[in-house]
Amino acid sequence: MMNKPVLKNVLYVEDDSDIRELVKIALNSLGNYHVDTCVNGKDALEKCKTLKPQLVLLDVIMPGISGPNVFQELQQIQHYQTVPVIFLTAKNQEEEIEEYLELGAAGVISKPFDPVELPRQINDIWNDYHQKSAEAYSDGLEKLRQKYLKNLNQSIKSIQHQLVAIDSQTLNSDDLKAFMIKIGNLQGSGESFGYQDVSNSARILMHSLEEIKLDGKSVILSDRDASRLSAIMLALIAIIEKTVTSATKKSRLMSLEAPAHK
């Protein structure tokens, strides 16, 4: 699970000077946040070139560029694509709030607001945003892991195909080079996804393959080399099969134990 960062820096965009100062005082004093302020949307888009806030608090109705339009402009800037935005607005009808959330806002706080409660409201939205981000990250990682496990089964077929060639003790150099690339990828991806046994086994096979001299279009193996390579490949296949079975079983158990969402 990803660690949630501590909120320290906020950018607040508001054209009303009294509300702007009230929010700044509340967040400074009660939330212990550093707050940079902007007087309107144009000012915000100019200052965002140098400011790197963790969160943006954005008024909806402003002269010139509206809050939603500022939000859309900010989404085009790399840093701000992962910065949560909260709309602070008097336009707080249910359909309006839904519109802001569909736009991509992390949350909406209604005006008039309680300055004492404002830091807590912001912190709640901050926590919820990062909780959802962590869940999305976990879901994405799990999908990649499942795809990787399927690719492992394809790796077995590739190894089995090469075993047939080894049995004949004659290998095509080009096929062997392509096979070595696959084993190299298997070694790296196994380590990346946390399947160290697969990675270590692929590393051993790669080391043995690299000892074969690729002169000409074909390679003739000795009985000893053919026997050794076959044993290593069969061991790799066994480890892959065990890894896939174990990971699939673990995934099913986690799915059964996961609480149902209401």
What per-residue confidence (pLDDT) applies to 124?
A: 95
Q: Is the pLDDT of residue 258 over 60?
A: no
What per-residue confidence (pLDDT) applies to 255?
A: 61
Contact, 152 vs 243, CB < 8 A? yes
Question: What share of the chain in percent tops pLDDT 90?
Answer: 57
Q: Is the pLDDT of residue 261 over 50?
A: no
Distance CA 86, CA 107 (A): 5
Domain definitions of the chain by residue range? 9-116, 140-257
pTM, rounded to two decimals: 0.62
Q: Is the pLDDT of residue 147 over 50?
A: yes
Q: Is the pLDDT of residue 105 over 80?
A: yes
Which pLDDT band holds residue 262 (cuts at 50, 70, 90)?
Answer: very low
What per-residue confidence (pLDDT) applies to 236?
A: 94
Average pLDDT in the chain: 89
User: Per residue in 222-248, pLDDT tens?
Assistant: 888 899 999 999 999 999 999 989 888
Residue range 87-105: mean pLDDT, rounded? 90
| In the block, residue with structure tokens 């026997």 | 227
What per-residue confidence (pLDDT) applies to 102?
A: 93
Q: Is the pLDDT of residue 259 over 70?
A: no
User: Per residue in 160-196, pLDDT tens?
Assistant: 988 988 888 888 888 888 899 999 999 999 888 889 9
Which residue, 16, 27, 18, 17, is CA-closest to 53?
27
3-state DSSP call for residue 220? strand
Beta strand 55-59 pairing with 170-172: unpaired
- Paired with 88 in beta bridges are 59, 109
Q: Is the pLDDT of residue 197 over 60?
A: yes
Q: Return the CATH fold of 9-116.
A: Rossmann fold (3.40.50)
Give per-residue burial for 25-55: e unless 16+ CB within 10 Å, then b.
ebbeeebebebbbbbbbebbbebbeeeebbb
What per-residue confidence (pLDDT) applies to 3?
A: 67
Distance CA 35, CA 21 (A): 10
What per-residue confidence (pLDDT) applies to 235?
A: 95
At 213, phi and psi to the nearest 5?
A: -80, 120
Distance CA 155, CA 222 (A): 25
Q: Is the pLDDT of residue 32 over 60?
A: yes
Residue range 115-125: mean pLDDT, rounded? 95
The domain defined by 140-257 carries CATH number 1.10.3470: no
Contact, 170 vs 221, CB < 8 A? yes
